[in-house]
Amino acid sequence: MTSLATLLASGKPLVADGATGTNLFEMGLVAGEAPEIWNIDEPERIKALHQGFVDAGADIILTNSFGGNRRRLMLHNMQDRAREINKLAASHARSVADKAGRPIVVAGSVGPTGDLFAPLGPLTEEEAVEVFVDQMLGLKEGGADVAWIETMSSIEEIRAAAHAAIKVGLPYTFTASFDTAGRTMMGITPEGLVEFAASLDPKPLAIGANCGVGASDLVMSILGMTAKEAGIPIIAKANAGIPHFVGDVIHYSGTPELMRDYACLAVDSGAAIIGGCCGTSFKHLASISKAVHAHHKAERPDEASVVEKLGPLQAPPSKNDGGGERRARRRHG
């Protein structure tokens, strides 16, 4: 077992892994199939995913459990096996981490339920806590070091997941997806996420941004979180560029060189943990890892320098940005 808090205390930037879904599709996952079921049916491929990221330089590997809560598994009639699936997901990552020869954190990936919360939707905060407790108990039993709550859009869901982690005795982190004019779908700003984190007890080990749109937008979210002294380590996990269809297959525009530049800007912006999200391959992550370890933190970037290196913002902040009643995304990767 490896403590994320101990690694963060070193003061050195850490490297988190890349995409789950994108890489599993490359391994043969079929569209519409739940990646989490591969924890049962294809354990060696899941271990190969984790090994690929460890070999590329990851200090933190996320379990294949993003959609592993019973609300999401209902879509595949697997809700009664949620705890089992999460235990397997964590054990597969644990087996790779334990033979790595260096400290590797196993982060239990916890994504959104996919439901809106009352009064906008059917789910209460109390019910969500129960859903997340079920998932996190499995992750803990399988050997997860930390609950990695990610791709969130509402305060209510983050709070429910955080309370679940506290209830099961796991340290936790959380990230939000700022994909709607500088906010999450439900209206959280980067600055607001920092303020919310300060209200929790015990506090998360780290918070940040993942997924969203392009790398430039994500770096701007990190700059928003660190505009004032955040008092907490910040996570940056950007998509590898912008998605586009080639035939009926989604490709991401980001090159390893773009992800190298993103990693350097993320460090300069104050991020303590840098990784990739959708579209991030082993090659992309190797580029991120080399950049993180070779880069000496430089001057804090402004929007112009971010755009110059990473390209234009895809969803720039607006003064008239409503949160909207949009559903949480299915998954990352």
pLDDT confidence band for 330 (50 / 70 / 90) = very low
Domain coordinates in residue numbering, the chain: 4-310
The sign one gets for the Cα dihedral 303, 311, 191, 289 is negative
pLDDT tens digits, residue range 17-63? Answer: 999 999 999 999 998 999 999 999 999 999 999 999 999 999 999 99
Say how many C-beta atoms besides its own lie within 10 A of residue 25's C-beta: 17
Whether residue 1 is predicted with pLDDT greater than 90 in this model: the reply is: no
pLDDT higher than 80, residue 125:
yes
- What pLDDT, on a 0 to 100 scale, did the predictor assign at position 250? 80
Find residue 148's DSSP bridge partners. Answer: 109, 173
240: left (phi over 0), alpha (psi -120 to 50) or beta: beta
Distance from C-alpha of 75 to C-alpha of 160, rounded to nearest angstrom: 21
Q: What is the pLDDT of residue 328?
A: 38
pLDDT (tens digit, 9 = 90+) per residue, 93-123?
A: 999 999 999 999 999 999 999 999 999 999 9
Answer yes or no: is pLDDT of 4 > 50: yes
pLDDT cut 90: percent of the chain above it: 89
Report, at the CATH architecture level, how domain 4-310 is classified: Alpha-Beta Barrel (3.20)
Which pairs with CB-CB distance under 8 Å and at least 24 residues apart come from 154-157?
154/117, 154/184, 154/185, 154/186, 154/188, 154/328, 155/186, 155/188, 155/196, 156/117, 156/125, 156/128, 157/112, 157/113, 157/117, 157/128, 157/328
Q: What is the pLDDT of residues 56-74, one digit of tens each?
A: 999 999 999 999 999 999 9
pLDDT category, 333, cuts 50, 70, 90?
Answer: low
pTM: 0.94
What is the band of 319 on the pLDDT scale with cuts at 50, 70, 90? low
Mean pLDDT over 70-82 rounds to 97
Residue 205 and residue 171 in contact, taking contact as beta carbons nearer than 8 Å: yes
Going 276 to 262 to 281 to 100, the CA torsion angle's sign is negative
Look at residue 313 in the predicted model and tell me its pLDDT: 96
Q: What is the pLDDT of residues 175-234, one digit of tens each?
A: 999 999 999 999 999 999 999 999 999 999 999 999 999 999 999 999 999 999 878 999
Quick one: pLDDT at residue 329?
40
- Residues 259-281: tens digit of each pLDDT: 999 999 999 999 999 999 999 99
pLDDT value of residue 247: 78
Q: Band the pLDDT of 321: cuts 50, 70, 90.
A: very low
